[in-house]
Chain A
């Protein structure tokens, strides 16, 4: 049961845009439009930022956007702000023996 593959870290300056990738297989990311992205600050529970590949829950800034191409999903954060510094996790429904699989997480540093 392999986790989805994310870069360990990304960084950007305030005002810039960054993109975090999430690579899976045709059994998860590539096969279903059920990719979600979570933001987690230290010591806090994860917060949903994107669901179903590109949808934002109510209250989430439109600076956050999601997309997918083949087996790779992406989270883009535009106009970086200091409060965006956090860990980000992708997740996907999977047709394997699991129900949901998470990525390994990406630490975003705002320089």
Chain B
């Protein structure tokens, strides 16, 4: 079964850090670029970051640039998001996703919740 499973969410104080993980299974993870997409409570989807299959190309949304770092370990079939200097507005459900419908492989995880609050 093709699957993405996020972990690492939780409650963190403003200015704190958190590292999200996304474990992939059921498909050739190393062949696909990956993304993080977030959704604030009651709000729409917001693309956060992209990493190519070989990690050679990385993009970030302006809202997280300089604070978040995306990475992957193809040997472990895992995607990561290191989040530093967290703000209240980073509170959201964070999804990892392939966004690869063009290749017949659009897969989303179930999401992990990050809450930034004192």
The reply to whether chain A is a binding partner of chain B is: yes
A interface residues (Cβ-Cβ under 8 A, vs B): 1, 3, 34, 36, 38, 40, 45-48, 51-52, 55, 57-58, 87, 89, 91, 97-105
The answer to whether A45 touches B101 (Cβ under 8 A) is no
B interface: dominant SS: mixed
The answer to whether A100 touches B99 (Cβ under 8 A) is yes
A109 CB to closest chain B CB, in angstroms? 16
A–B Cβ pairs within 8 angstroms, 19 of them: A1-B63, A3-B44, A36-B99, A36-B106, A40-B45, A45-B95, A46-B45, A46-B108, A51-B101, A51-B106, A57-B104, A58-B104, A91-B47, A98-B47, A98-B59, A98-B61, A98-B62, A100-B99, A104-B44
The answer to whether B45 touches A51 (Cβ under 8 A) is no
User: 1/0 per residue B70-112: CB within 8 Å of A?
Assistant: 0000000000000000000000000101010110101011110
Question: B29 an interface residue at 8 Å Cβ cutoff?
Answer: no
The answer to whether B108 touches A36 (Cβ under 8 A) is no
The answer to whether A99 touches B106 (Cβ under 8 A) is no
B interface residues (Cβ-Cβ under 8 A, vs A): 35, 37, 44-47, 50, 59, 61-63, 95, 97, 99, 101-102, 104, 106, 108-111
For residue A105, which residues in chain B have a CB less than 8 angstroms away from its CB?
44-45
The answer to whether B104 touches A101 (Cβ under 8 A) is no
The answer to whether A100 touches B35 (Cβ under 8 A) is yes
The answer to whether A100 touches B50 (Cβ under 8 A) is yes
The answer to whether A34 touches B110 (Cβ under 8 A) is no
For residue A97, which residues in chain B have a CB less than 8 angstroms away from its CB?
59, 62
Give complex CA distance A98, B48 in Å.
Answer: 9
- From A36, A98, A100, residue with most partner B Cβ within 10 Å: A100
Give complex CA distance A98, B44 in Å.
Answer: 17
B99 CB to closest chain A CB, in angstroms? 6
For residue A3, which residues in chain B have a CB less than 8 angstroms away from its CB?
44, 46
Q: Which of A1, A57, A102 contacts B101 (CB 8 A)?
A: A57
The answer to whether B101 touches A101 (Cβ under 8 A) is no
The answer to whether B109 touches A45 (Cβ under 8 A) is yes
Give complex CA distance A15, B44 in Å.
Answer: 27
Q: Which residue of B lies closest to A89 (CB)?
A: B45
For residue A52, which residues in chain B have a CB less than 8 angstroms away from its CB?
101-102
